[in-house]
Amino acid sequence: MSLLASARHIAPAHRLAPLLSRANSTTVSPLYPHAPVYSYAMGLSYAAKYSPPFISTKQEIKPYGLDYKQDDVGEWVREMLDLNAGRGDIRASLEEIKEVRRKYGAGEDFFGLTSARGDLHLAVSDGVGGWSETLDASLFPQLLCYYYTKAARDFAMSSTGSVDPRSILKKAYEDALADDRANGGGATMVSARLDEDGQGVFSNLGDSGYMILRGDEIFEISKPQTHFFNCPKQLSKIPAEMRHEKIIHDTPDVADVKSFELKAGDTIALFTDGFSDNVPTSHIPSLSKLLNRILNDPANASLSPAERASERARLFADMLVGYGRSAMQRTGNETGVNGWKTPFEEEAGVKEPKWKWKGGKYDDITVVTAVVTEVD
């Protein structure tokens, strides 16, 4: 747990304030006929599998994804990649992190964040790596997240009530299937709608996931959906020439949807399996407690409640990504108090013992966080 051991005084820094300012602006028509009770401080951190320290800084990276497209989707992808975010490295400067983040991107993961009539919509998608043998596996999750945020806004403008994430996902999937910018691919999707009254509705399809921390303890954590070990349930776009093959594909109807009444101080995290395959659930409360000890340090007493929530969201996302990337480097030969096993190693030992898997699993990793705060 050395990730934040050297951090004491916290200077409020790169937040996702531009996203939240639209939700709290008086120019936005409220969905609810009363003043908002809650708002959400946001954090974002991600790192591609093929990025330092797992590859040399001199290694050439082939262009991938849609951010080079000079169209509406390309513009949106660049907007998401330009959001202030970490990549699990507190030693680098903000400019260094931004430069590395833009160079390597999110790999085959992607995410979408938007606000619509008082609701905050979050989406995180993980491209199924098996497609990378024949095509760019990052395209489909990027399209899925783009159309998810678009559908969330469109539904908000045309509906008098709130729309659940699974309905948004159905529309997003339909639009992604019709978009020829991705010829094929597959992806998981975890998403959430957080409203101003503290209602959180979560949808999960595949082996990405979400969790809610209340205090420093896990109040709720999603269960991964899989067909078999290391094969998640997934939304797929199958090229015409491959439709005769038995390719796994699911529909948005299989997504697990749950609702929760959130409370001030709750911390929400959406994540891809680059995190959950490598970090034991039992470690998460300890990470949260470590961060709170830093935030409670007298050197940070000047932080306002809003600044404190923003810093917790920002740092917790970064902490989870950094801890996850550290766990990816485990060999499985560690002993003593450091002899714990990654979830992927433990599950492989039960379900696929012939693999003889040891240690961590290198992967893209994405974490989006939200801290619930009361509106003054």
The whole-number pLDDT of residue 28 equals 35
What tens digit of pLDDT does each residue of 35-83 get? 889 999 999 999 999 999 999 999 999 999 999 999 999 999 999 999 9
Give the Cα separation of 365 and 299 in Å (integer). Answer: 31
In this model, does residue 243 exceed pLDDT 50?
Answer: yes
The whole-number pLDDT of residue 19 equals 42
Q: Residue 11 — pLDDT band, cuts 50, 70, 90? A: very low
The whole-number pLDDT of residue 7 equals 40
Residue 183 in contact with residue 135, Cβ under 8 Å?
yes
The whole-number pLDDT of residue 246 equals 84
The whole-number pLDDT of residue 241 equals 87
Find the range with the poorest average confidence among 89-93, 182-186, 370-374.
Answer: 89-93
In this model, does residue 34 exceed pLDDT 70?
Answer: no
Residue 16 in contact with residue 83, Cβ under 8 Å?
yes
Look at domain 17-329+363-374 and name its CATH class. Answer: alpha beta
* pTM strictly above 0.75: yes
What tens digit of pLDDT does each residue of 79-122 get? 999 999 999 987 778 888 888 898 999 999 999 999 998 999 99
Return the H-helix or E-strand segment holding 160.
Answer: none
What tens digit of pLDDT does each residue of 329-347 get? 999 999 999 999 999 999 9
Give the Cα separation of 202 and 239 in Å (integer). Answer: 30
3-class SS at 285? helix
Backbone angles phi, psi at 372, to 5 degrees: -80, 130
User: Sheet harboring 209-214: ordered strands across?
Assistant: 38-47, 365-374, 267-271, 209-214, 217-221
What tens digit of pLDDT does each residue of 138-176 get? 999 999 999 999 999 999 998 777 788 999 999 999 999
In this model, does residue 29 exceed pLDDT 60?
Answer: no
Q: Tokens 């639209």 belong to which residue?
A: 22
Q: Of how many residues is the chain composed?
A: 376
The whole-number pLDDT of residue 26 equals 28
Mean pLDDT of the chain: 90
Give the residue extent of every domain in the chain: 17-329+363-374, 331-360
Give the Cα separation of 50 and 271 in Å (integer). Answer: 18
